[in-house]
Structure 1
Amino acid sequence: MQQVDASEIWRDLGSAYFRELSTFGAMQDAVLLNMLTTGRVLQLKSGEVLYSVGEKTAYFYIVLQGSINNFIPGQDGSMVLSRHHEPGDDLGFVHMISLNDRTATAIAEQDTVILEMSIEQFFELHQTAPDAFGVLLLNLARGMARTIIRMAHKIAELDKRIYIAERK
């Protein structure tokens, strides 16, 4: 994992690209650029681990390019895919906000660029740009809501399969 020049990424991709990412939707260019330059923009190679189960949580991440998969430990010791993250998705926010250690291992599915945002940076945004913080929080909450809805559909699907299997 290596740090990338945030200003270069901003120039290369353009402000419109960032505004199209779900976590950054409706945010002003100046705020987005500040988030990139005060955070850390990191590049991961395919297969590289971002974080592992049990690690302390002081950051959350936003996928800028590429994709990352989260794996949780299965009962048999295997790693089970729990979530796939595309550009615009956040990962690690729930753990950071709940002050819990990581419950998953995040691995880059392909070469991936992410923004790392610390608890301190998140709080600083709240203090210095409350309107932008509100938009960011709304976007993050919207992402969590979509995830909860997908999880509910998966649970219902599994319940249906179990019900059908038990009737046979």
Structure 2
Amino acid sequence: MSEKQLEDKIIELLPKTSLFGGVDLKEIHFFVESLVEKRCKAGEIILKEGESPGDSYLLLEGEVKLTVRDRRVDKFGPGTVFGIDSTIGIQKQITTAIAATDIILAIIPKMSLYTLSQKNPDLFSKLILNVARDLARALKGMERIIEDYVLLEEKHLL
């Protein structure tokens, strides 16, 4: 996929991609310059639970499944950014991401966020705020799981 095709695909996915909330087209053009396309076959592991943080990914085409301890916990399609939480947090990967179908990814190199912070701090701020919002939503989603766990513990079922 050419840089122009990659850019067009990302612009097409903007409404589905929380990472780019509040980001204008000029900023998208700037950001796309740092992305690299990667194609994976169904069954290929993209990132592995317990590994050191690396690049992040924007899913352009296909489906990816996430597993924890070999159990599927999620499945998602185009427009999803994943792996960025480990990169920002400098933490080991908490999931394994596997191509559920043949996929096309835009790789967000781990150093691109640092470079972006130097070259375009306004865009960097928008992206980090969007990541923080996504992480806050995910944390809020854990509330029910924690409540269920507490109830089981109170009933002495754990």
Q: TM-score, normalised by structure 2?
A: 0.81
CA contact (8 A) 2:66 2:96 kept: yes
1:9 correspondence with 2:6 = yes
Over aligned residue pairs, what C-alpha RMSD do you find?
2.4
Q: What is the deviation of 1:14?
A: 6.9
Q: Which amino acid in 1 is paired with 2:94?
A: T
Partner of 1:117: 108
- 1:76 aligns to what? none
Task: Supply the AA of the counterpart residue of 1:157.
Answer: D
> Share of identical aligned residues, percent?
22
Q: Distance in 1 between matches of 2:151 and 2:55?
A: 37
Structure 2's unaligned 5+ residue stretches are none
Alignment of 1:27-106 (within 5 A): 27-73=23-69, 79-106=70-97
Contact 1:45 1:112 in 2 (8 A): yes
Number of residue-to-residue matches in the alignment: 156
Distance 1:37 1:104 in 2: 28
Structure 1 unaligned spans of 5+ = 74-78
Q: Which deviates more, 133-142 or 154-163?
A: 154-163
* Alpha-carbon spacing, 1:98–1:130, altered in 2? closer, same or farther (3 Å): same
Which string of whole-angstrom CA distances, capped at 9 and with x for unpartnered residues, describes residues 71-102 of structure 1? 122xxxxx122343443332212211222232
> Which residue is equivalent to 2:144?
153
- Residue 18 of structure 2 corresponds to residue 22 of structure 1: yes
Distance 2:135 2:80 in 1: 10
Q: 1:18 to 1:54 in 2, by over 3 A?
A: same
